[in-house]
A and B are shown apart, each in its own frame.
Chain A
Amino acid sequence: MFEFFFKYPAAVFSRGTLVLLGTWPVWSLIAAIVLAAAGLWFWVHRNASGSARVNSLRSVAVWLLQTLMASLLLLMLWHPALSVATLRPQQNIVAVVVDDSASMAQADEAAGATRRAAATQVLNSGLLNALKDKFQVRLYRLTDRLDRFEKFETLTSSAPATHIGEGLKQVVADAASLPIGAVILASDGADNSGGVDLETVAEFRRQRIPIHTIGFGREKAAHDVEIGDVVVPARALPDSRLAAQVSFHQQGFKGQKAKLMLREGKKILAQKEVTFKDDGAEQSEAVPFNAGAAAVHAIEIALDPLPGEDNVKNNALTRIVNVDARKPRILYMEGEPRWEFKFLRRAVEEDSTIDLVTILRTTQNKIYRQGIANPDELKDGFPTKVEELFAFEGLIIGSVDAPYLTPGQQTLIKDFVDRRGGGVLFLGGKDALADGGWKQSADVDLIPTVLPDRKDTFLRAGAMVELTAAGRDSLITRIEEDPAKNTERWKKLPYIMNFQDPGQPKPGATVLVDALPMTGGRIPLLITQNYGRGRTALFATGGSWRWQMLQPVADKSHEMFYQQLLRWLVADTPRRVITSTPKQVISDDSHASLRAEIRDRTYLPASDATAEAHVLGPEGLAETVQMRPDPIEQGVYTADYTTPKPGSYLVEVVATRGTEELGRDTITFRREDGVAENFHTEQNRELLEKLASETGGRYYKPEEAQKLGKDISYSEAGITVRETRDLWDMPIVFLVLLMLRSGEWLLRRKWGVI
């Protein structure tokens, strides 16, 4: 239709520039239009002045129509045309890239045809021939790489991955030596490598090569459930309570229920029933589970298949959790013998994964140490040296007045959190917080509240406790598996008989538990915050021991609470060498990025270290990869590793400085093939449209694709010739002239002034 009125395809107008081929200058056209308008104004008014039927408004309408017609006629006299670059026939190459990944085997096209069959049909129904009439055509097969092919029969749609970005990068590289004028990408847009990088798109734009995309596949599945992502901590302490944050969406099952399960092999770790919300809406559920014993755990997160589901292979994902055998040491400094000290120790004694070392001021001049590694450890009291304190991963400060610690020791505590990345828990007590002078200490920033200015904040009075909204979601306070039961359980915990006003929570701090004093009101009781590389918490009471004494022997509320709080305190405390990889499960990809953060004995970034990654892989694979220092981040070393085959990989990074070993750390990851293509199987039209629009091309539906034969000629890439296309003889011009003239005639007839 467009071409019928405008004579040329839309691509000519979008890519061409307007020129006037007449020999007279442009200003003379403008002058002629102005003169014509003035003349017509004079003429219309002279004729209208004698007629009672023509008022001023009607004369203006007539003048306007006549002026527009005169202007259009004058413009045509100046010979308007479009200047457009077109590909020179038979001298350019058009790259036709056909997606041959497994997702193209989905039979969701018309009449049950596969996407590959639909693509083959579109290309072979005249489009390729039309292209071949004008250009050389190169056929490329796109999978996780780009290969040339000759016959469509060789396409199998069995490749386990699609890397559109990698494929296009190769095309643009070919364009450096070949006159590639345009690219046609026939795909469902289901890319597994995270999309197309900006650099590749920029290169296409720089070389002015348009990418025209033809999209295949349904844009929305009729009946499908898909797990989009699962976030689990990469590392954990043995028997820790963790949460898997599962994101999923569905089509066609709104309101239905399904079972969300966490499995390790055949063992079910946790399960939860979920109810599907609106079609296409992203849902998220947290599923708590136990990390289990020290080992590498491959956990499958799956939604049970539903009857009539189109694709059940996207209902499960695998994640790896490295449960470390380490036993973090926590130092507890207490200023007075008290019940909270005793019952905290007893709670942690039942946790085999935490090593609690305590220093207790029993008398004015004596300290009592428990849990020490040797008789000399901490014999002089609280550590004064970096190495001594930084050997711990967590710190608890009880009812200790701040002046008991020297300014140096106070600064050390701050560095312990900020630089070492340790966790500090402040407890309430008669010598704690504001009453203990901590507001004036170097560690005031570590406390997650703004401490009151007064010193009578510790009260020996009754209070009940209640979870806040954040506390209901937190794993620290989860003593019952079910969140609703957990909230009720907290309400029923025995009273505490002392609490301390901690002041207002600081911005960024999270209040997990409130105290409800019997005298009325509500004060924050358990508050957490992140600080520097570490984290701090404040538990503003020394009276939680009644949760143990006033409940049956079998009740483990108190033990679980403290164990979870202390595990949170130290679970993320880094060691001197920390290795990480952005993906623990690489789906249909061979590329693994390794990153190691290396610190020296005082936990300062070690920029002069040597880092080697020793890789153990499937079938006895053993390799050593040298890691390179990151140019931007001090103490960070990176390496790219190509996994030769699917399977589990264990990487141990050893950091040395001269002959001194700074530390070592291991991490595991897994390469899985044949997985990625089962996910995001709906047509990614957004990606295809964006790719086309960013490069000057256009997105086509399969039924519109035949237009490409004509549109594709207009490109500024490859070998081009600039052509001018006359505009004066476009049918639309004559149609407009006719409409203007007949419009005037109809008005006159209506007004009776013909």
Chain B
Amino acid sequence: MRVRSFLLLFILGLTGWGVLRAQRPFKAYRGQEYEDYPLPEDWKRAAEFTRARLRYPSFLVVHPPVRDGFDRWTIDYPPSDRHLLQGIRRLTRIDTRSVEQVVDLDYEEDRDDVYNWPFMYAVEVGYWNLTDRQAAQLRDFLLRGGFFMCDDFHGSVEWANFTASMKRVFPDREIVDLDNKDPIFHVIYDLDDRYQVPGLQYVYTHSRFEYDGFQAKWRGIYDDKGRLMVVICHNMDLGDAWEHSDNPVYPEPFAALAYRIAVNYVVYDLTH
């Protein structure tokens, strides 16, 4: 009887430990641009939705000769995330957490954690360099019902880097240009008239594009049932637009479109 009781307690304890650790708690990281960024007051409040930011391994040199690939996943982090979450909370009925969640693919401590956060965002994916195991898990994440949005990469070189990893995720699925009629552009706002959203450099250069990324490309990958599971914002910098939406020098129309795009994408994910 004692052995049985002990075993029961052990199993219950193990289950409890498993559940409690299954969803990783929030953790703040040092970013390339921000250190010790203050936490909002309600950062501990649990909520229905938050945006997961993918921490990915990157190429160290994409635009030689500069070794420019260090910690590219942290670009705009964390104000971009928190501004956006605040905006989604205000503009929709989505119960959002005030802080983002940083996630890893093929995370050695808990490989399943990524599945707790079905909306995943990655910035500067022109630098990413997924391992085969990471690509496989991203594919699994998407096929289970997850959603992936990437942004802030420009020109043909970064596109090639991006697709190299994405092809390992979905070797057989095409990346397609999104039609204006797609529900993702109408789920909340009608976004037939979209324009290129530049980063903060626009304030200084008045150039909307970077490298040879002259035109904004709204692309995606569909699943077998015609639902978008990957949305690709190429040749634009929505991340900067969210990050600098409280910056008086950054033009409001760019920030406004960036928010509307994000709101549509998030609501699309939560409805499809």
Contacts and interface: CB of A to CB of B under 8 A. Distances in A.
Contacts of A518: 16, 19-20
B188 A553 contact: no
Given A368-B187, A548-B144, A462 B94 contact: no
A546 B19 contact: no
Interface in A487-506: 494-495, 497
Nearest to A366: B188
Given A368-B188, A462-B19, A497-B23, A337 B93 contact: yes
A363 B188 contact: yes
B143 interface: yes
Contact of B145 (A366, A497, A549): A549
B94 A550 contact: no
B49 A462 contact: no
Given A336-B95, A550-B116, A342 B188 contact: no
Interface string B158-171: 00000000000000
Interface string A437-466: 000000000000000000000001111100
Contacts of B115: 546, 549-550
Contact of B116 (A363, A461, A546): A546
B46 interface: yes
Contacts of A546: 115-116
A337, A360, A461 — most chain B CB neighbours (10 Å): A337
A338 B95 contact: yes
B210 to A, nearest CB: 33
Contacts of B39: none
B267 A368 contact: yes
Interface string A339-351: 1011101100100
A725 interface: no
Interface in B219-237: 225
Interface string A398-437: 0000000000000000000000000000000010000000
B92 interface: yes
Given A342-B271, A368-B267, A462-B22, A362 B144 contact: no
Interface residues of B, number: 34
Contacts of B95: 336, 338, 430
Given A368-B187, A460-B47, A553-B144, A339 B118 contact: yes
Contacts, number: 98
A15 interface: no
Given A362-B93, A363-B93, A518-B16, A549 B118 contact: yes
A158 interface: no
A495 B22 contact: yes
A116 B44 CA distance: 87
B13 to A, nearest CB: 11
B8 interface: no
Contacts of A361: 93
Contacts of A461: 46
Interface string B72-96: 0000000000000000000111110
Contact of A553 (B20, B116, B143): B143
A686 B237 CA distance: 89
Contact of A338 (B16, B22, B48): B48
B228 to A, nearest CB: 13
A341 B93 contact: no
A488 to B, nearest CB: 13
A364 interface: yes
A485 to B, nearest CB: 18
Contacts of A552: 140, 144
Contacts of B23: 462, 497
Contacts of B48: 336, 338-339, 430, 542
B15 interface: yes
Given A342-B272, A370-B271, A550-B116, A336 B145 contact: no
A341 B271 contact: yes
**Range for the number of chain A residues in contact with chain B:** 35 or more
A335 interface: yes
Interface string A372-396: 0000000000000000000000000
A362 B47 CA distance: 16
Contact of B49 (A338, A358, A368): A338
Interface string B105-136: 00000001001101000000000000000000
A355 to B, nearest CB: 16
A53 to B, nearest CB: 75
B176 interface: no
A335 B93 contact: yes
A525 to B, nearest CB: 15
Interface in B248-270: 266-267, 269-270
B146 interface: yes
Contacts of B144: 548-549, 551-553
Contacts of B188: 362-363, 366, 368
A518 B20 CA distance: 8
Contact of A336 (B94, B112, B118): B94
Contact of B270 (A338, A430, A494, A553): A338
A549 B48 CA distance: 15
B93 A364 contact: yes
Interface string A513-531: 0000010000000000000
Contacts of A342: 118, 145, 269-272
A368 B187 CA distance: 7
B112 to A, nearest CB: 6
A335 B95 CA distance: 11
Nearest to B264: A362
A445 to B, nearest CB: 28
A128 to B, nearest CB: 75
Contacts of A553: 140, 143-144
B7 to A, nearest CB: 15
Contacts of B140: 552-553
Contacts of B92: 337, 362-363
Nearest to A520: B16
A554 to B, nearest CB: 10
A551 B141 CA distance: 10
Contacts of B19: 462-464, 495, 518
A550 B112 contact: yes
A294 to B, nearest CB: 23
Contact of B225 (A339, A349, A463, A548): A349
Interface in A306-363: 335-339, 341-343, 345-346, 349, 358, 360-363
Contact of A548 (B145, B187, B271): B145
A496 to B, nearest CB: 10
A461 B46 CA distance: 9
Interface of A: 335-339, 341-343, 345-346, 349, 358, 360-364, 366, 368, 370, 430, 460-464, 494-495, 497, 518, 542, 545-546, 548-553
The 7 closest A-B pairs by CB, nearest first: A460-B46, A337-B270, A549-B115, A462-B19, A495-B19, A336-B93, A553-B143
Interface of B: 15-16, 18-20, 22-23, 46-49, 91-95, 112, 115-116, 118, 140, 143-146, 187-188, 225, 266-267, 269-272
9 contacts: A336-B48, A337-B49, A337-B270, A341-B271, A342-B269, A362-B267, A461-B46, A518-B19, A553-B144
Given A337-B92, A550-B115, 10 more contacts: A342-B270, A368-B188, A462-B22, A518-B16, A545-B118, A546-B115, A549-B118, A549-B146, A550-B112, A552-B144
